[in-house]
Structures are given as structure tokens and as C-alpha cells.
């Protein structure tokens, strides 16, 4: 007897998803609660567990299909009762063919969402890679290593004779190795694009800059990082300082932490800080709830957990809802300066950038200091220039003198 596999509840206001990957193929044995497929929503990838133990039946939908919550996507047959799938039916989904020529079709090894995206990004054939993960499964590191060692394809030999007509000219162009590849945007990337464009069209965005001397924070981190990691089990980074300093500045300048709803301004007496972290499908922004009540250690633990689960594709949708203010650290990628885009319905976003030694004047003397540019993009409908500058100065003062963070000054 077959048991239907239904699309689970995906979260508040989420009614549909896209089939991202089949982790089990028809005929595979499955255990109860074992993931058999991954779905891509507007925010995260969600794994669909098997409701029972048995044998994977037929896929009712293919990779790339849009499915509604509650829809049947596959069946699980009782162990030993599954019949061999007909060749035509087994070949129907062929998810790799619809997504990218880099992925093998048919009975390919099941890939996790993050590994699948790495395969698409690097353009390698996972069937040729030996997995080092649990039970021989591929990891992102396996894919990256294979991509780095893959030799470049040799250029096609030039067509014989002279390219005197259109066909010959086309053949000559093909011989140069020029090629194009079309890959459908993931649902997450489509949502990111839509929201960012809506922010530009709606908000009266303006960006104000400042710079900050990172000397004191760098010295504090160097002095205490080993003790910090030993006590708290997490590395001491710079984001903990910036998030804590931002919560203090937001308390002083509440409009930066507010939002516009219709003809009303909504002020928040809490700071839910959205932090941009990298995932295989792009940047996502999980939220540190009540960051004003957390210590630097608590903030670092939360961010570290977000970063790990973003790479694994296991962030929950509820963790990315809300947020009153966003911090985006482009410095980890080497960015010197940027104008970040507001994350609606928030009214401001802080951009951090790389630290580099620059000459500055201190007490009348030119000295070299590790400096970072700060950028605050804000909705000018709500936040005045004076308030934006005041916020940045308060943040700068706290970072340049971290004792202020300790004594809430």
C-alpha cells in the first residue's frame, strides 16, 4: 500500500514552493523522517521528510515545478511491495537536464541543496567526484576541489577551409570556445531581486558615510580572543561589537529603528537586528531577536549559528521574519565602500567594509591607523540627515572606545 507524501506547511503566508531537488529516486529505500526532497521557498530551502519507512515510489512532480502546500508530490510504498518503475516514468523527472548540463540525470547520487548549488556554480559532474561525507555523500568541499583540479577543455579545431559563408563563419566562432549557459533563477534569487527593486522604488533612499578607527577593537580582540573562545565556545569577531554598539545608537536615535506603515510611523522599543549572511543561493538575512539584551558573546554565538546553517540550507523561515534594522558586512568579501539597499519595511541599513591601514591625523600628527568606512543608507521620508549623522557618530564613538559598550554610554 502506498503512502502519499504531501508538501508540508511552509510557514505563515507561504503557500507554494519550487521543487529544488529529489534526494531519493524511485526504488530507493527510505526510513521514516528521512529527507526525500528539498523545496525552495521565497526565503529558504526546506527538506521534505518521508512520513513512513519503505521504498520510494514515483515522483509526481519534477525539479523546477511549483507545488502548493498540501499537494501530493510522491508516494512511499511499503517495504518489499514496490514494483520496478517503468523506464519512461523513471526518466520523466530528469531534474538535472532541466537545470544544468553539469548535473547527471537518472540515478545520480542524491545531493543536498548546498552541494547541488555548488555543482551548478562550478559546472562539474558530481558522478565523477568521490564523496568524503557521511556514507560517501558529496560535500561542497569535494565539489570545490574537483572544480579547481578540472582541466580546461581544449578549443575545438578550426573548421577546414575559408569561412566564406554563414555556416562556416558559425563553425569558426564555435571553435573559439565562446558559449553561453542559461540557468533559471532560484525562487530565493527572484525574491531578492523583487524586494530590492521595490525598496528602490518606494523609499527615498540616501546614504551617509563616516569612517572609524578600529585600533581599540582590534587590540581588545587580540588580547581576549583565546580566553573568549575557551569560555564561550565561539570566536570573537567584530560583528559582536558592531551589533552591540548599533543597539545602543538605535536607542538614542529611535527613528533609525522605526518603520513606516501607511501614514503612521511605528517605533520599536526593541532591536531585532537582521544580519546578512552568505548562503549558496545568495545573501539571506536572519534576525537576532532582542539584540539589545544580548552580550557580545551571545551575539557572536547567534551569528555563528546563522552562518553555519545558512551554508547548510537549514535556516528556518521564522528566523528571517521581522527585523527592525540590518547590518551587512561587505568587508568580508573585500569591499572598500558601498551604498547598501534598505531591507523593507525597515528604514535603515548599516554597511561595514574592509579594514585597511590609512594615514590619519591624530592630535596634529599624521599616523597610520586601521580604518573602516561605514555607510548608513536610510529612508529620508522618516530619517533626517541630522539623525543619520548622529547615529553614525554614536556608533563610531562606541567602536573607537569599546569601554562605552561596557558601561552603556
Full set of structural domains in the chain with CATH: 2-149 (2.40.50.100), 188-407 (3.30.559.10)
Q: Cα(first)–Cα(last) distance of the chain, in Å? A: 67
Bridging pattern class, strands 29-30 and 54-59:
antiparallel
Largest distance between two CA atoms of the chain: 85
Give the count of beta carbons closer than 10 Å to the beta carbon of residue 161: 8
Q: How far apart are CA 74 and CA 157, in angstroms?
A: 47
Contact 395, 383 (CB under 8 A): no
3-state secondary structure of 50: coil
- Joined together, the cell numbers standing for residue 22 give 529529489
Number of C-alpha atoms within 13 angstroms, CB side, residue 228?
A: 19
Would you name the residues annotated as active-site residues? 380, 384
pTM for this predicted structure: 0.63
Q: Which residues contact 114 (CB under 8 A, 6 or more apart)?
A: 140, 279, 280, 311, 312, 313
Closest of 317, 310, 296, 329 to residue 405, by C-alpha = 296
Digit-by-digit pLDDT tens for the chain (409 residues) are 789 999 888 766 678 888 888 999 999 999 988 999 988 877 677 889 999 999 999 899 988 888 888 899 999 987 655 444 444 344 444 443 334 333 333 334 456 666 766 776 777 777 788 887 666 777 777 887 887 776 444 444 444 444 444 444 444 455 578 989 888 777 777 877 888 888 888 889 999 999 999 999 999 999 999 999 999 999 999 999 999 999 999 999 999 999 999 999 999 999 999 998 887 766 788 999 999 999 999 999 999 999 888 888 788 878 888 899 999 998 888 999 999 999 889 999 999 999 999 999 999 999 999 999 999 999 999 999 999 999 999 999 999 999 888 877 7
Amino acid at each position: 500500500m502506498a503512502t502519499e507524501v504531501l508538501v508540508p506547511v511552509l510557514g505563515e503566508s507561504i503557500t507554494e514552493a519550487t521543487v529544488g531537488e529529489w534526494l531519493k529516486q524511485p526504488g530507493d529505500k527510505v526510513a521514516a523522517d528521512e529527507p526525500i526532497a528539498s523545496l525552495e521557498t521565497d526565503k529558504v530551502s526546506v527538506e521534505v521528510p518521508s512520513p513512513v519507512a519503505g521504498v520510494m515510489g514515483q515522483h509526481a512532480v519534477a525539479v523546477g515545478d511549483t507545488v502548493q502546500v498540501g499537494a501530493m508530490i510522491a508516494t512511499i510504498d511499503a517495504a518489499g511491495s514496490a514494483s520496478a518503475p517503468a523506464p519512461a516514468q523513471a526518466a520523466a523527472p530528469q531534474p538535472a537536464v532541466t537545470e544544468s548540463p553539469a548535473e547527471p540525470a537518472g540515478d545520480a547520487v542524491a545531493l543536498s541543496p548546498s552541494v547541488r548549488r555548488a555543482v551548478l556554480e562550478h559546472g562539474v559532474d558530481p558522478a565523477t567526484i568521490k564523496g568524503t561525507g557521511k556514507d560517501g555523500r558529496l560535500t561542497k568541499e569535494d565539489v570545490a576541489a574537483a572544480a579547481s583540479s578540472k582541466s580546461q577543455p581544449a578549443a575545438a579545431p578550426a573548421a577546414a577551409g575559408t569561412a566564406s559563408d554563414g555556416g562556416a563563419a558559425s563553425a569558426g566562432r564555435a571553435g573559439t570556445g565562446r558559449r553561453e549557459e542559461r540557468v533559471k533563477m532560484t525562487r530565493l534569487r527572484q525574491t531578492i531581486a523583487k524586494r530590492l527593486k521595490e525598496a528602490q522604488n518606494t523609499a527615498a533612499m540616501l546614504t551617509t558615510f563616516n569612517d572609524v578607527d578600529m585600533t581599540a577593537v582590534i587590540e581588545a580582540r587580540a588580547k581576549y580572543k583565546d580566553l573568549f573562545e575557551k569560555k564561550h565556545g565561539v570566536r570573537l569577531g567584530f560583528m559582536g561589537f558592531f551589533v552591540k554598539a548599533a543597539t545602543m545608537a538605535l536607542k538614542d536615535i529611535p527613528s533609525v529603528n522605526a518603520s513606516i506603515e501607511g501614514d503612521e510611523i511605528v517605533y520599536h522599543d526593541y532591536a531585532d537586528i537582521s544580519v546578512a549572511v552568505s548562503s549558496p543561493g545568495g545573501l539571506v538575512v536572519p534576525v537576532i531577536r532582542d539584540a539589545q539584551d544580548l552580550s557580545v558573546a551571545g551575539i557572536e554565538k547567534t551569528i555563528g549559528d546563522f552562518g553555519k546553517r545558512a551554508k547548510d540550507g537549514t535556516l528556518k523561515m521564522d528566523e528571517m521574519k521581522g527585523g527592525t534594522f540590518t547590518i551587512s558586512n561587505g568587508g568580508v568579501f573585500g569591499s572598500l565602500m558601498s551604498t547598501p539597499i534598505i531591507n523593507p519595511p525597515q528604514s535603515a541599513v548599516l554597511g561595514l567594509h574592509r579594514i585597511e591601514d590609512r594615514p590619519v591625523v591624530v592630535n596634529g600628527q599624521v599616523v597610520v591607523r586601521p580604518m573602516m568606512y561605514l555607510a548608513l543608507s536610510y529612508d529620508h521620508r522618516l530619517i533626517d540627515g541630522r539623525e543619520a549623522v548622529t547615529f553614525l557618530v554614536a556608533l563610531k564613538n562606541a567602536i573607537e572606545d569599546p569601554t562605552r559598550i561596557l558601561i552603556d554610554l
